[in-house]
Amino acid sequence: MQIYDTLSGKVRKFIPIRRGEVRIYTCGPSVYSAPHLGNFRTYVVEDVVKRTLIFNGYRVTHVMNITDIEDKMVREARGSMKRLMEIARKNERRFLAESRRLNLIPADHYPRATENIEQMVQLIKRLIQKGLAYRDDRGNIFFDVSRFPRYGMISHYKFRGNLNRRVYKDDYFQFEAGDFILWKAWRKSDGDIYWETELGRGRPGWHIECSAMSIRYLGIPFDIHMGGIDNVFSHHENEIAQSAGATGKIPARYWMHVRHLMTYGKKMSKSAGRLYTVGGLRKRGYGYDAIRAFLLTQHYRRRLNFTLKELRRVSREIASCKALIKSLRRVRKGKDSDAAKKIIEEKLSDFTFHINNDINTPAAMNSLCSLVQKMQQLLKKGRLGPGNARRAVEAIKKMDSVLGIIY
């Protein structure tokens, strides 16, 4: 199995830290609002990565965090902790429900940031003790990037000019880089959204959350860290600085990132108002299987453009594929041939090659659909017996144990 590792910038053979076991951390939803289809492209791809590892015989432990405290959550809650929790739990429930409907295998753990504040506090204290963090005159605590020479290692960005600025906001661009915030001292606009801790009254910055939770639930290092392409900088860059600064170890061996979902040529995003949701598409009559299949029609390291026309095409293909599989299940007579058996074996082999070649989902789906079509052609010619029909169905089940679009 080979995967592209953002950190090294290369496609690398996957070798787990512990034989037969894989530990994965994925950056989960920020639940200040409901998830949209662009978010779910990342989550569906991550699910296929996990399924591919299981397909290859690994035991997988998967942790996906729930970001329920960060700047957008505070703004949405308008300074009320009660309102923040209500918004967070409502959107978390929706995310989990839509994940089930899209056939995502549940994570082993869904840690909430608000339930891991103490772990964040202790990690920040360690960074202060190591001279990697400092407090300003307002009580905010920042990571000193000048003390971490490898800063820029995952974004592969050469930071030129002055990095001595302080960055208070959670997410920002590379040209804005500087000392990033670990702990935000309470301000009047925060209302009652704060924690009383050894660091003072306040709340964590976004980046420290994933460092603390990944270390708590998976240890360090773990095998694979995944997220959307937007996470590379600033989130994962800062996460590496924090975790490596505190422990001396890069948190993950492999880093995988999913490119954007576009809509009619523009990035799908909440801030831009260009949104399609899983629930909204379901109301239009599209099945969850078709939505999931559409999200896998392009390689994860390439942008995927969403249009309703393309979703309709995928929906028709999934329906046709399912109908052909039903016809295979009804085969009761006919002669089994070596030719049919060879086709089944070849298509399963092709599928295995493509999915293990950096999770090439479009090519893998083509192997599945091609197998169904070949079997249908043989069936029409009377050259498919019940034995090979069963073999074909079993091969399709194996393929779909990874893709999750049929059963």
Q: Residue 36 is encoded by which pair of tokens?
A: 């949209």
| CA atoms of 389 and 324, how far apart (whole Å) | 11
37-55 helix and 386-403 helix, angle to the nearest 10 degrees = 120
- CA-CA distance, 205 to 140, in Å (whole number)? 10
Task: Give the mean model confidence (pLDDT) for residues 330-355.
Answer: 94
- pLDDT tens digits, one per residue of 274-315: 789 999 999 999 999 999 999 999 999 999 999 999 999 999
Mean pLDDT computed over 2-31: 98
**What's the CA gap between 314 and 290, in Å, rounded?**
6
Closest C-alpha to 154, from 49, 4, 37, 312? 4
Strands 222-228, 261-263: pairing is: unpaired
How far is the C-alpha of 234 from the C-alpha of 242, rounded, in Å? 12
For 293-339, give the DSSP string.
HHTTSS-TTS-EEE-HHHHHHHHHHHHHHHHHHHHHHT---S---HH
| Predicted confidence band of residue 222 (pLDDT cuts 50, 70, 90) | very high
The 10 Å CB-count burial string (b at 16+, else e) for 54-87 is ebeebebbbbbbbbbbbbbbbebbeeebebbbeb
The alpha carbon of 123 is separated from its chain's Cα centroid by a whole number of angstroms, namely: 25
Task: Indicate the angle between helix axes 37-55 and 338-356, nearest 10 degrees.
Answer: 120
Residue spans per domain, the chain: 20-267, 307-403
pLDDT surpasses 90 at 335: no
What pTM value is reported for the model? 0.96
The SS3 call for residue 194 is coil
In CATH, the number for domain 20-267 is 3.40.50.620
- Percentage of the chain lying above the pLDDT 70 cut: 98
pLDDT band at 25, cuts 50/70/90? very high
| Cα(3)–Cα(145) distance, integer angstroms | 30
* Gap between the Cα atoms of 25 and 46, Å rounded: 10
CATH topology of domain 307-403: Four Helix Bundle (Hemerythrin (Met), subunit A) (1.20.120)
Nearest to 61 by CA among 30, 102, 29, 105: 105
- Cβ neighbours of residue 369 closer than 8 Å, sequence gap 6 or more: 317, 321
Distance separating alpha carbons of residues 80 and 61, to the nearest angstrom: 35
Cα(126)–Cα(116) distance, rounded to whole angstroms? 16
8 Å CB contact between 295 and 304: yes
Give pLDDT, residue 164.
Answer: 74
Q: For residue range 368-392, list pLDDT tens digits in order.
A: 999 999 999 999 888 999 999 999 9
pLDDT reading at 162 higher than 70 = no
